[in-house]
Amino acid sequence: MCTSRILAIVVMLVFTTEVSGVGGNDKRTIRVTGEGTVSAIPDTATIHSGVVTQAKTAVEALEQNKIALEKMMADLKRLEIAEKDIQTSRFRVQPIYDRAIQREWGPTIVGYRVSTYLRIRVRNIKSLGELLDTLIRSGSNQMSGISFAVDNKSSIMNKARAKAVEDAKARADLYAKSAGVAVGKVISIDEQRAVVPRPVFFGRAMEAKTTGVPVAIGEQDFRATINMTFELVDRESREE
């Protein structure tokens, strides 16, 4: 092989090595997932309570419904439920048919049913048992459920996020130590998922100290999941 051809090959090799060194990234990193969970006892409740009345005419059914609702509202006020926490969630007037009596135009209407539901938010959850008892005695004959929630969700969720970070750090340290290296600075943090529980019906058995109807409040779990990337360094560098 001639001298000029050998020289050309050497130049190409040197040029290729220099480009790889400039564009390459020799940082060693580790990416881990951390999880954090914080449990909290609900401090608010929401009740959907209603009155259903029926009579031969719609007006009569409405009047009966109105009387029962006025008593319920007065009792709610007595229990210090604020007006802003009481909302009419549904109002319905329905005919009642006797399908045994058929006319040319269909079944005969023999009466009317009026339904009114209130959405009630209870901030003093210790009074919940007494409130349920009072609503039933006031005339409520329909309840579609009781749900529980935590009022200050953001504070509890932040605690779960902090736990997720600590979990990610612990995992990274464990893996790095097993590999004979050490964890360096944080390169990135990404929140993968934050689970804020919706209001739930009852929950795990944890009975509240209430008067009236026994109520199980339970707990709710707030979960955070994050991805963290750390730089890996030699143990000697970490010690320095």
The reply to whether CATH 3.40.50.300 applies to domain 26-41+153-239 is: no
Task: State residue 213's pLDDT score.
Answer: 72
CATH code of domain 44-149 = 3.30.70.2970
How far, in Å, CA of 143 to CA of 134, rounded?
Answer: 13
Q: What DSSP character marks residue 191? A: E
Who contacts 238 (Cβ-Cβ below 8 Å, separation ≥6)? 182, 183, 184
Task: State residue 199's pLDDT score.
Answer: 55
Task: State residue 165's pLDDT score.
Answer: 96
Per residue in 129-140, pLDDT tens?
A: 899 999 999 889
Question: What pTM did the predictor assign?
Answer: 0.66
The SS3 call for residue 174 is: helix
* Nearest by Cα to 125 from 216, 45, 220, 211: 45
Exposure pattern of 128-152 as b/e (b: 16+ CB <10 Å)? bbbbbebbeebbbeeeeebbbbbee
How far, in Å, CA of 126 to CA of 43, rounded?
Answer: 9
Q: According to CATH, where is 3.30.110.170 located in the chain?
A: 26-41+153-239
How far, in Å, CA of 135 to CA of 73, rounded?
Answer: 9
Q: According to CATH, where is 3.30.70.2970 located in the chain?
A: 44-149
Task: State residue 98's pLDDT score.
Answer: 82
How far, in Å, CA of 129 to CA of 119, rounded?
Answer: 16
Q: How do the pLDDT tens digits run along the chain, 240 residues long?
A: 544 443 333 333 332 223 223 344 568 999 999 999 999 999 999 999 999 999 999 999 999 999 999 999 999 999 999 999 999 999 999 999 987 666 666 678 899 999 999 999 999 988 888 999 999 998 899 887 788 889 888 999 999 999 999 999 999 999 999 999 999 999 999 998 777 766 544 433 333 344 567 777 888 899 999 999 999 999 875 555
